[in-house]
Amino acid sequence: MESLQFMLILLLSPLAQGIIKKIKAMMQGRRGTPVLQPYYDLARLFKKDMVIPRTVSWIFHGAPYVVFASVLAASMLVPVFSAGRSTGLWAGGGVGFSGIGDIIATIYTLALGRFFLALGGLDAGTAFGGEGSSREMTVAILVEPSMMLAIFTAAVASGSTNLGVIANSGSFFFSPAHVLALAAFFVAIIAETGRIPVDNPDTHLELTMIHEGMLLEYSGKYLAMMEWAHYMKQMLLFTLAADLFFPYGMAGAGAGFGIAAAAGFWAAKMLILCFGMALAESTRAKMRFFQLPSLLGAAFVLSALSMITFVMTGK
């Protein structure tokens, strides 16, 4: 059962996207789309025929598979509701692939998908695809240092980069360093998932879109895989935030009835993070692209302060 935790991210990630959209609509006084609308959209796209540009190479065809597989592989490395029982400083967390499933491998497995996503946007040779890809790489350069530094603060506090060990450690949580790292990581999630104020997931205006610009030439099954991978990445980052900063309620290996309770705790955390994301989007306007370094630079400062605070205070 524990080795199949990633199936929750695979199957429920469109539901999380639908919940965020529904909460945003309620906050804005609109009725909004049904919560299950992302599932309907994916089913519709899988049934549609694909229109392939004549100028593309194998990169265009292979990018959807690499993007989807990279996010799925990263999901296999992350404990969702059970971190297992670690037996040493670098012991595995009791989940599938726990021997190699540390936080560094997870983040850079996601980076592989981002790289091929940008290549797919460039391969079609359109202006919008190239613009979206260049912007995506610029945002990645700005956001990755703050994300990794916030993660390293949690790793140093627990004495390991293994997610199972970090989730089983309680010495770091609710300290000043924890609050600063959490704030930096939440900004990183917004940037990684293309949310307001970094990007607008609902726009197709060429002057504002980043993620959507790379997908303009995709259709049918390829577009469905890209969108599904994006939903999975969003829930995966939510799960990482829960593992790193709110691991309470995690079940041990073979915990029996505790597994169901742990799954309930995880679902509650996901709902809280979905609400937080919807609130952040509903209360902020999209920033101009050239203003993003200020926001992401502030996130890096917060993550650096979290590390400095932990080194100075030891908690």
pLDDT of residue 63: 93
pLDDT of residue 60: 92
Torsion angles phi and psi, residue 184, rounded to 5: -65, -40
pLDDT of residue 96: 42
pLDDT of residue 77: 85
Those residues of the chain that have pLDDT short of 50 are 86-98, 171-172
Place of tokens 């079940």: 251
pLDDT of residue 44: 95
How far apart are the C-alpha atoms of 64 and 226, rounded to whole Å? 6
pLDDT of residue 222: 94
pLDDT of residue 89: 33
pLDDT of residue 100: 54
**Domain extent listing, the chain:** 2-313
pLDDT of residue 208: 65
pLDDT of residue 58: 92
How far apart are the C-alpha atoms of 161 and 264, rounded to whole Å? 26
pLDDT of residue 252: 60
How far apart are the C-alpha atoms of 313 and 315, rounded to whole Å? 5
The string of pLDDT tens digits covering residues 56-109 is 899 999 999 999 999 999 988 888 877 655 433 333 344 444 455 678 888 889
